[in-house]
Amino acid sequence: MLREFTEITGLWSALHAFYVYLTLGGWVMWAILAIAVVLGWALGERFARLRRGSDKNVRVLLRRAEEGRANPPNGIVDEAIQRGLALKRAGKPNLRRHLDEAFFDLEMDLKRHAILVTSLVLIAPLLGLLGTVSGMIVTFESLAEMALFTQDGGIAAGISTALFTTQMGLVVAVPGMIAKGVLDRRAHQIAIDLAQIKDVLTSSPRPTEAP
């Protein structure tokens, strides 16, 4: 019981400290926090969708699927191979067009939330810069009025706003940029794999039905 009480007290103290930190930066901090929440959701969704499946080479995966030794689809590339082989076995004319149609939703998954993530990563530091400018305005106004300490905090409040909003914007933007780069490279590689699947299927002989 004492341990649980200590953990709850520690959690409450941490939340209170974070709340104080946000209030020191003014309304801009809350805007950046909202961006951080949405960015985390978008990155999580993008990460969940960008599953390649098996890490084997595309040609190896195609050969295994043709021989009936493929595992159940567990990613975009695996799913594309299953769809592509099904179309080829069906003897569809103009196979490339049918493959483009069958892969359309998979290719859209590669782009899903990409623009949103890019926009949020760019907006976060700009909001931090806006908070910095707002804080400096408060600081200069206090200097002009020789009001080192006022009801609103004076110079100290202005400097706090300037520093904390800049920090918060960078704390959100830098990890977001790194995660965005990793996911974009993954999406690019999967797009290359999908194009290779189309090329192999349209240039190879029709596979025989797996036993």
* Structural domain containing residue 126: 26-203
Look at residues 175, 183, 182 and name the one whose alpha carbon lies nearest to residue 50: 183
Confirm whether 3 is domain-assigned.
no
Confirm whether 159 is domain-assigned.
yes
Contact criterion met (CB below 8 Å) for 166 and 130: no
Confirm whether 16 is domain-assigned.
no
Per-residue pLDDT of the chain (211 residues; tens, 9 = 90+): 656 656 677 777 777 676 776 677 678 888 899 999 999 999 999 999 898 888 888 888 888 887 777 677 788 988 998 998 888 888 878 888 999 999 999 999 999 999 999 999 999 999 888 877 777 766 666 666 655 444 454 555 556 666 778 888 899 999 999 999 999 999 999 999 999 999 988 886 655 444 4
* CA–CA gap between residue 82 and residue 64 (Å, rounded): 11
Torsion, Cα 187 193 194 196, to 10 degrees, reads 150
Confirm whether 156 is domain-assigned.
yes
**Domain count within the chain:** 1
Quick check: pTM over 0.85? no
CB under 8 Å to 10, separation ≥6 — which residues?
Answer: none
Q: Give the tens place of pLDDT for each residue, 131-145.
A: 777 777 666 666 666
> Tokens 């076995």 label which residue?
89
* CA–CA gap between residue 73 and residue 83 (Å, rounded): 10
pLDDT at 210: 44
pLDDT at 211: 45
User: What average pLDDT does the structure give for the chain?
Assistant: 81
Confirm whether 127 is domain-assigned.
yes
CB under 8 Å to 92, separation ≥6 — which residues?
Answer: 98
pLDDT at 151: 46
Confirm whether 105 is domain-assigned.
yes
